Amino acid sequence: MNTGELMSRLTEDVDNIWMALAFGISLFIENSIYFIFATAILLYLNWKLALISLCIMPFLAWLAMKLEKDIEKAFDKISDHTVHINTTAQEDISGIRLVKAFAREKHEILKFLNLNTVNYTLNVEKTRIWGKYYPLIEFLTNISIVLVISFGGMLVIKDEISVGTLVAFNGYLSMLVWPMRMMGWLTNVISQANTSAKKIFGIMNTKADIESAQDCLKPPEIKGDVSFKNVSFKYNNSYVLKNINLNIKAGSTVAIMGTTGSGKTSLVSLIGRYYDATEGLIEIDGKDIRDLDLGILRSSMSVIFQDTFLFSDSIANNVAFSVKNSSIQSIKDACKMACIDDFISSLENGYETEIGERGIGLSGGQKQRLSIARAMIKKSSILILDDSTSALDMETEFQLLKNLNGLKNKPTTFLIAHRISAVKNADLILYLEDGCIKEYGTHNSLLEMKGRYYQVYSDQFRDYEELEYTEELA
């Protein structure tokens, strides 16, 4: 489900249900009371005229049922198409810089106009259905008035009722006709609300793929020992990870390298149960993570994703997002740890500076450091950095990782990176390829193996070594 569909459900569909509940129900109750009392009074005045006025009710009920069935289909199409319009609008607004960068404004405008044309056609179709049935409802309600006056006039001529009774009957008849006329409008509102309710309840009834077990464990503390035992993971019936075996002690740093698509992000995603392993077992502190309370498991972790997300809020509130009632000093300490404090202090409003949507106006490195500070303030047992230093220069990256390694209560750290400078000081380095661990060990032991890690090292440091050699010759 995309953002545009959720926007549609939270706006148009909620408004449709609100209209039915706020106005539809009250109007239904009001008109039901009118109808019941008017029927009773009309039967009291003259039962013959009352039956004549009520004889059209079966036809009105049949028309209302037909209207409800046809117009609900139209509303269903409109609701689904509104999702496409909202999705297009949301994507164009969010990606406006990309649209302008590729000069695709006209293309996106035409695409939106085409969607609106379809929306117009669907609404015309709905109006035609409404125009087909509503005049018939109006005609039948007016027929009842004509029948009552005609038949009532005959009864007056025959002296069966008085003129006053006929006038009174005609007056009370309006209380009966009005609910009949409103039946079409009520059918329209109820059909629209019914269609919207199905969409909303479809979302609300969707169950999460991953949930805590009913008798889940709730340990008071998680230290951070992590074990992978014959773990494999499939996605779309293809293996992403195959037979992973690891035993990582609390406080260790594990660096993960590998080619694009080798399964690095999938490996760390299994720890927080963002996915469940297809085969094998993952344990934290000797307990199967599927037996742990999901809230406790994830609250013990700090994750810095590849795609950095920042809220349209102050820097302080963005950093303090993961911890309630954070002091300004703890926010500053986390920012110093992430090597971003000097930049923030140079701003006119400091930590109260408002940043734009998704951190617009900040560089990639600044956004990454803010997200790292947001993770550091949490002081969790497990820290995952998913290629979250890629936009930093080597000097800043070195200082940041040095700060992380110097923590007093160092978390178990999983570091995904592509630069040797970022991983060389890790306690364990993994090199993944095609979902398998091809090499593992420390920096020096992997260099001695002269395998894939050594090839990456040689490629990254070749220019530096050639420069040194040239200087020696000079």
Query: In residues, how long is the chain?
Result: 474
Number of separate domains in the chain: 2
Both 178 and 250 in one domain: the answer is no
Confidence of residue 1 (pLDDT cuts 50, 70, 90): low
Cα diameter, the chain: 132
The pLDDT value recorded for residue 242 is 92
Is residue 130 located within the same domain as residue 230?
Answer: no
253 and 199 housed in the same domain:
no
Q: Does residue 191 sit in the same domain as residue 232? A: no
- Whole-model pTM: value is 0.73
Cross-strand bridge partners of residue 254: 414, 428
Residue 216 counted as domain residue = no
Same domain, 42 and 116: yes
Q: Please say which residue of 135, 169, 204 terminates a domain.
A: 204
Beta strands in 375-471 (DSSP E): 382-386, 412-416, 428-433, 436-441
- The answer to whether position 386 is within a domain reads yes
Q: Are residues 283 and 360 in the same domain?
A: yes
CA separation, residue 162 to residues 154, 155, 168, 227 (Å):
11, 8, 10, 96
Query: What's the pLDDT score for residue 469?
Result: 42
Same domain for 255 and 130: no
Residue 40 CA, distance from chain mean position: 53
Q: Which of 204, 234, 265 is the last residue of a domain?
A: 204
Assess if residue 217 is contained within a domain: no
Is residue 227's pLDDT more than 90?
A: yes
- Residue 114 placed within a domain: yes
**444 and 343 in a common domain:** yes
Q: How many degrees, rounded to 5, is the angle at CA 412 between CA 318 and CA 343?
A: 35
Lowest-confidence region among 72-76, 251-255, 381-385 = 72-76
In a domain? residue 265: yes
Instruction: Answer yes or no: is 219 within a domain.
Output: no
User: What 3-state class would DSSP assign to 105?
Assistant: helix
**Are residue 143 and residue 254 in the same domain, yes or no?**
no
Contact 387, 306 (CB under 8 A): yes
Are residues 241 and 192 located together in one domain of the fold? no
Helix residue ranges, H only, 46-104? 47-54, 57-94, 96-101
Residues 393 and 466 in one domain: yes
Q: What percent of the chain is predicted at pLDDT more than 70?
A: 96
Q: How does pLDDT run across 188-216, given as a tens digit for each residue?
A: 787 778 888 888 888 788 787 788 888 88
Distance, in Å, from the CA atom of 44 to the CA atom of 292, rounded to the nearest integer, reads: 72
Looking at residue 251, which CATH number applies to its domain? 3.40.50.300
- Choosing from 171, 204, 237, the residue where a domain stops is 204
CATH number of 129's domain: 1.20.1560.10
Provide the residue range defining the domain that includes 262: 226-471
pLDDT at 184 over 70: no
Kindly state whether residue 220 falls inside one of the protein's structural domains.
Answer: no
Do 387 and 334 lie in a common domain?
Answer: yes
User: How far is it, in rounded angstroms, from Cα 217 to Cα 408?
Assistant: 28
User: How far is residue 403's CA from residue 336's CA, in Å, rounded to a whole number?
Assistant: 9
Confidence class of residue 32 from pLDDT cuts 50, 70 and 90?
A: confident
Whether 112 is covered by a domain: the verdict is yes
314 and 351 Cβ atoms separated by less than 8 Å: yes
Mean pLDDT of the chain: 84
CB 50 within 8 A of CB 165: no
